[in-house]
């Protein structure tokens, strides 16, 4: 009896022990009810690995969640999963997701309790909902690599500029570019990129052109699409910006772009349309400027009608930083998230929802777009896990992209490549080529390892960021050239005194002059001319040495009054962290250049649609008393003004073709150390075939370009790029190339019908090595009745 009693007590106590063990295990997420969809529940993992725990949390978030988290079922669609989360969300939780909570945050370990402790240090941070297993969104600027590494001693690869990446005309390299960014964001614990600029180069003096993909919407759209795919395939959310028409920095917070709808759809918006279609990017960042009277971030036409309805964009629209101007108007026009703070979409939006000004259904849609993108890209199921960035791989990838992006613009008498065995002396001149290569400034600035190779003068205050500061990556062209020609005397002159530089050039067999054009977010270049008397420097060196080679490090096109007096010109853009070896490899022929210009180089400002940038001479008004610094704040504001894009459809080469102006170097142009011949064009409908032959003595790659002239009834500029193919050919080799042209690329946008139309009539195809060199032509007749 007593034994049986004992044993009953012991069974009971064992049961209690087992039950409490179960509950402990359940709390720590080890033993759980069978997972929906057969997978282990990932709530604790999804939250825990992606952020630092809140101070108040004493146990993993999963324990706080309700017993059923049906959204964990990975077999459900991202949309269904998002809806299942939304069903469980409170109003406050919804509001929390639709605005940022400030960016940056202090470096870990700091004693600043008021600051957000979980921010990963990027430009944007949206706290997640631990109770529901929704991780924080940590965004980093990453147009050309992950930014703001210095504050936390992180390395990020400084890639060549985005316009350089576009100069490769290589979709695989655009994808690689995105892969490097996605990989390094992931390794640093971010789950979203806010890079991906695709503003068209309407204004070649725009300070941000280095972040963008050139002047042609089809080239730009295809390249940004692959770049974003590269990012998102690392399970990092991508974002394409700045939507839309933020094509100049002058007055970006106040300027009103005036442009007709057809031109918008066929130029700037087309680049977004293609890029989003090809990548399914999670985010679109609306821009600072106004478009036809409405701020871009509360512009119903741009956001709701075109982006969401017509393009079918499923992700979310976030404002550029400080680019939100209202609560109800912006929310109802299609803005889904205010960044980086909560001035309009915090308490203001909560009140608007409570009062019914903004229906709950609209707030749910905003949240849905965010959550469904997180599920679709994988940041909830497979959150980033921090590790040390693969520095070596990054530098290797950066060098490869740089080598494929350097455009050979001139090469008289086959001055290049240099023969390392024959060259006896080289003068290397200018642009701090002894220590580094230039990079682009502003929010895209990637902090160089070891700091700026050309540190600012002592006493310069350590700014919060690098707007307006000129940063060089520690990649020394001088050293790279010396390594290539070890037997030669290679000397450096800073180029600050043209006479001294000319003297060194005179006493050297070859002179290589490096010239630069620093550009940055926040300001445009006033002219296409190189700054700091560099034109005079080149002229002086060229007068002293007929074998003068110019290497440009520029954000975009520049004028070259000396071009007829120099032997060779290379455009290296901002060539990134491995820029120096890339430049040296091209100079000495270890790499045969194959890049082509994604932007037209004009002879002078006078040849541009707007010889002067709109608003460039306006004076800033003093800031209102007590205004905070920031966009439109304490720095003072320009008065409101219009930016009339009167060139309309005629962007870049389309302007030069229509106006019959001779560019300095045309769109699509670039030389090689070998030569190519084109023959045998046939066009059947939208399929174009032709043969490219390498007629020189060495292997090389040719970007073969296909342009189309539309029927006269279309009223279009003479030709537009509609396809291309980059062909690698051994010496003497020929290849037949077939390009299938998308009907969209041959269409025009009919505003009255609000759709693209492929007009019937005669289409011309032009094929060749640049927009101005198309030896092959063919025409096809398109019957009536085809439309998209």
Q: How many CB atoms lie within 10 A of CB 675?
A: 15
Which of 189, 207, 172 is CA-nearest to residue 138?
189
How far is the first Cα of the chain from the last one, in angstroms, to the nearest whole number?
88
Which of 299, 282, 297, 332 is CA-nearest to residue 139?
282
Footprint on residues 409-468 left by ligand BGC (CB under 6 A): 443
Q: Which residues contact 4 (CB under 8 A, 6 or more apart)?
A: none
Regarding 241 and contact with ligand BGC (CB under 6 A), the answer is: yes
- Closest separation between CB of residue 125 and ligand BGC, Å? 11
Helix H or strand E encompassing 9: helix 2-27
- Closest separation between CB of residue 122 and ligand BGC, Å? 8
Regarding 247 and contact with ligand BGC (CB under 6 A), the answer is: no
- Closest separation between CB of residue 427 and ligand BGC, Å? 40
Task: Give the side-chain half-sphere CA count within 13 A for 595.
Answer: 30
Q: Which residues contact 529 (CB under 8 A, 6 or more apart)?
A: 535, 558, 559
Regarding 605 and contact with ligand BGC (CB under 6 A), the answer is: no
Which of 330, 322, 351 is CA-nearest to residue 95?
351
The alpha-helical segments, DSSP class H, found in 638-741 are 653-658
Distance between CA atoms of residues 453 and 471, nearest Å: 7
Residues 431/516, Cβ–Cβ less than 8 Å: yes
- Closest separation between CB of residue 209 and ligand BGC, Å? 13
Distance between CA atoms of residues 693 and 668, nearest Å: 18
Regarding 272 and contact with ligand BGC (CB under 6 A), the answer is: no
- Closest separation between CB of residue 341 and ligand BGC, Å? 12
Binding mask 662-701 for ligand BGC (x = CB under 6 A): ----------------------------------------
Q: Of the two residues 123 and 759, which places its CB atom closer to ligand BGC in the complex?
A: 123
Q: Of the two residues 42 and 193, which places its CB atom closer to ligand BGC in the complex?
A: 193
Query: DSSP assignment of 604-616, as one string?
Result: SGGGSSSSS-TTT
Q: Of the two residues 340 and 579, which places its CB atom closer to ligand BGC in the complex?
A: 340
Residues 583/571, Cβ–Cβ less than 8 Å: no
Q: Of the two residues 216 and 320, which places its CB atom closer to ligand BGC in the complex?
A: 320
Distance between CA atoms of residues 379 and 233, nearest Å: 11
Question: Which residues, in sequence order, are bridge partners of residue 510?
Answer: 426
Distance between CA atoms of residues 157 and 166, nearest Å: 18
Residues 248/206, Cβ–Cβ less than 8 Å: yes
The count of residues interacting with ligand BGC (CB under 6 A) is 7
Among 175, 321, 665, 763, which residue sits at the site for ligand BGC (rule: CB under 6 A)?
321
Q: Of the two residues 132 and 144, which places its CB atom closer to ligand BGC in the complex?
A: 144
Q: Of the two residues 342 and 443, which places its CB atom closer to ligand BGC in the complex?
A: 443
Catalytic residue among 216, 239, 268, 320: 320
Q: How many CB atoms lie within 10 A of CB 380?
A: 27
Q: 192-193 and 316-319: which strand pairing?
A: unpaired
Q: Of the two residues 340 and 652, which places its CB atom closer to ligand BGC in the complex?
A: 340
Sign of CA dihedral 57, 63, 67, 69: positive
Binding mask 94-133 for ligand BGC (x = CB under 6 A): -----------------------------x----------
Can 320 be counted among the known catalytic residues? yes
Exposed, middle or buried, 357 (CB in 10 Å: 0-12/13-18/19+)? middle
Residues 235/379, Cβ–Cβ less than 8 Å: yes
- Closest separation between CB of residue 444 and ligand BGC, Å? 7
- Closest separation between CB of residue 161 and ligand BGC, Å? 14
Report residue 290 as tokens.
């106004």
Distance between CA atoms of residues 720 and 708, nearest Å: 5
- Closest separation between CB of residue 608 and ligand BGC, Å? 24
Q: Of the two residues 211 and 403, which places its CB atom closer to ligand BGC in the complex?
A: 211
Regarding 320 and contact with ligand BGC (CB under 6 A), the answer is: yes
Q: Of the two residues 141 and 266, which places its CB atom closer to ligand BGC in the complex?
A: 141
Among 86, 194, 228, 567, which residue sits at the site for ligand BGC (rule: CB under 6 A)?
194
Query: DSSP assignment of 756-773, as one string?
Result: EE---EEEEEEEESBTTB
The alpha-helical segments, DSSP class H, found in 233-267 are 261-266
Tell me the CA distances in angstroms from 722 to 137, 275, 746, 758, 773, one per residue in order. Answer: 38, 15, 7, 14, 15
- Closest separation between CB of residue 123 and ligand BGC, Å? 4
Regarding 83 and contact with ligand BGC (CB under 6 A), the answer is: no
Q: Of the two residues 136 and 141, which places its CB atom closer to ligand BGC in the complex?
A: 141
Regarding 141 and contact with ligand BGC (CB under 6 A), the answer is: yes
- Closest separation between CB of residue 643 and ligand BGC, Å? 16
Residue with tokens 């789950």: 191
Strands, E, within 183-333: which ranges?
Answer: 192-193, 239-243, 255-258, 283-286, 290-291, 294-295, 316-319
- Closest separation between CB of residue 556 and ligand BGC, Å? 17
Q: Of the two residues 336 and 493, which places its CB atom closer to ligand BGC in the complex?
A: 336
Residues that bind ligand BGC (CB under 6 A): 123, 141, 194, 241, 320-321, 443
Residues noted as catalytic: 320
């Amino acid at each position: 009896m007593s034994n049986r009693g004992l044993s009953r007590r012991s069974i009971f106590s064992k049961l209690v022990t087992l039950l409490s063990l179960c509950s402990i295990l359940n709390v720590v997420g080890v033993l759980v009810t069978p997972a929906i969809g057969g997978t282990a529940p990932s709530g604790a993992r999804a939250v825990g690995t992606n952020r630092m725990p809140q101070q108040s949390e004493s146990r993993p978030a999963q324990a706080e969640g309700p017993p059923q988290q049906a959204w964990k079922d990975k077999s459900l669609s991202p949309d269904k999963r998002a809806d299942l989360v939304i069903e469980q969300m409170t109003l406050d939780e919804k509001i929390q997701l639709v605005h940022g909570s400030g960016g940056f945050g202090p470096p870990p370990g700091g004693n600043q309790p008021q600051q957000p402790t979980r921010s990963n240090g990027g430009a944007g941070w949206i706290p997640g909902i631990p109770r529901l297993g929704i991780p924080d969104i940590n965004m980093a600027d990453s147009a050309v690599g992950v930014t703001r590494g210095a504050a936390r001693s992180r390395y990020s690869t400084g890639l060549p500029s985005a316009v350089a990446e576009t100069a490769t005309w290589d979709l695989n390299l655009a994808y690689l570019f995105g892969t490097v960014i996605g990989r390094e964001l992931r390794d640093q614990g971010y789950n979203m990129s806010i890079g991906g600029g695709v503003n068209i180069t309407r204004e070649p003096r725009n300070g941000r052109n280095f972040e963008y993909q050139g002047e042609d919407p089809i080239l730009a759209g295809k390249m940004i699409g692959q770049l974003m795919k590269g990012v998102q395939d690392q399970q990092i959310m991508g974002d394409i910006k700045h939507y839309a028409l933020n094509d100049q920095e002058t007055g970006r917070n106040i300027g009103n772009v005036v442009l007709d709808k057809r031109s918008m759809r066929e130029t700037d918006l087309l680049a977004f349309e293609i890029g989003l279609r090809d990548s399914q990017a999670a985010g679109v960042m609306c821009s600072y400027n106004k478009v036809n009277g409405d701020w871009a971030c509360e512009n119903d036409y741009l956001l709701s009608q075109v982006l969401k309805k017509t393009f079918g964009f499923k992700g979310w629209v976030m404002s550029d930083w400080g680019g939100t101007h209202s609560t109800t108007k912006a929310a109802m026009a299609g803005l889904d998230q205010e960044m980086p703070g909560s001035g309009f979409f915090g308490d203001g939006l909560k009140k608007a929802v409570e009062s019914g000004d903004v229906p709950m259904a609209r707030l749910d849609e905003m949240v849905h777009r965010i959550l469904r993108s997180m599920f679709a890209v994988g940041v909830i199921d497979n959150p980033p896990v921090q590790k040390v960035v693969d520095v070596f791989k990054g530098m290797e990838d950066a060098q490869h992209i740089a080598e494929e992006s350097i455009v050979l613009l001139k090469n008289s008498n086959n001055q290049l490549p240099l023969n390392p065995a024959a060259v006896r002396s080289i003068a290397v001149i200018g642009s701090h080529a002894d220590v580094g290569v230039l990079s682009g400034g502003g929010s895209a600035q990637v902090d160089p390892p070891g700091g700026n190779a050309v540190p600012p003068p002592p006493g310069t205050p350590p700014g919060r960021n690098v707007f307006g500061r000129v940063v060089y990556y520690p990649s020394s062209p001088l050293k790279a050239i010396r390594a290539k020609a070890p037997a030669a005397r290679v000397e450096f002159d800073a180029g600050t005194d043209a006479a001294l530089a000319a003297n060194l050039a005179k006493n050297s067999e070859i002179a290589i002059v490096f010239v630069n054009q620093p550009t940055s977010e926040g300001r445009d270049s006033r002219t296409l001319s190189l700054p700091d008397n560099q034109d005079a420097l080149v002229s002086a060196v060229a007068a002293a040495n007929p074998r003068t080679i110019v290497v440009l490090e520029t954000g975009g096109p520049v004028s070259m009054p000396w071009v007829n007096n120099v032997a060779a010109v290379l455009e290296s853009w901002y060539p990134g962290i491995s820029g120096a070896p890339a430049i040296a490899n091209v100079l000495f022929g270890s790499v045969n250049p194959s890049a082509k210009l994604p932007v037209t180089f004009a002879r002078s400002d006078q040849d541009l649609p707007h010889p002067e940038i709109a608003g460039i001479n306006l004076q800033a008004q003093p800031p209102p008393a007590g205004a905070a610094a920031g966009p439109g704040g304490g720095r003072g504001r320009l008065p409101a003004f219009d930016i009339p894009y009167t060139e309309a459809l005629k962007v870049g080469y389309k302007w030069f073709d229509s106006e019959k102006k001779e560019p300095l170097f045309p769109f699509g142009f670039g030389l090689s150390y070998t030569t190519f011949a084109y023959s045998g064009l046939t066009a059947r409908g939208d399929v174009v075939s032709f043969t490219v032959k390498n007629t020189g003595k060495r292997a090389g790659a040719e970007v073969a370009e296909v342009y189309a002239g539309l029927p006269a009834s279309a009223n279009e500029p003479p030709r537009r790029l509609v396809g291309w193919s980059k062909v690698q050919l051994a010496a003497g080799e020929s290849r037949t190339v077939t390009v299938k042209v998308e009907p969209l690329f041959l269409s025009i946008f009919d505003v009255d019908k609000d759709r693209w139309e492929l007009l019937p009539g005669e289409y011309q195809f032009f094929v060749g090595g640049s927009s101005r060199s198309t030896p092959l032509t063919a025409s096809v007749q398109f019957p009536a009745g085809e439309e998209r």
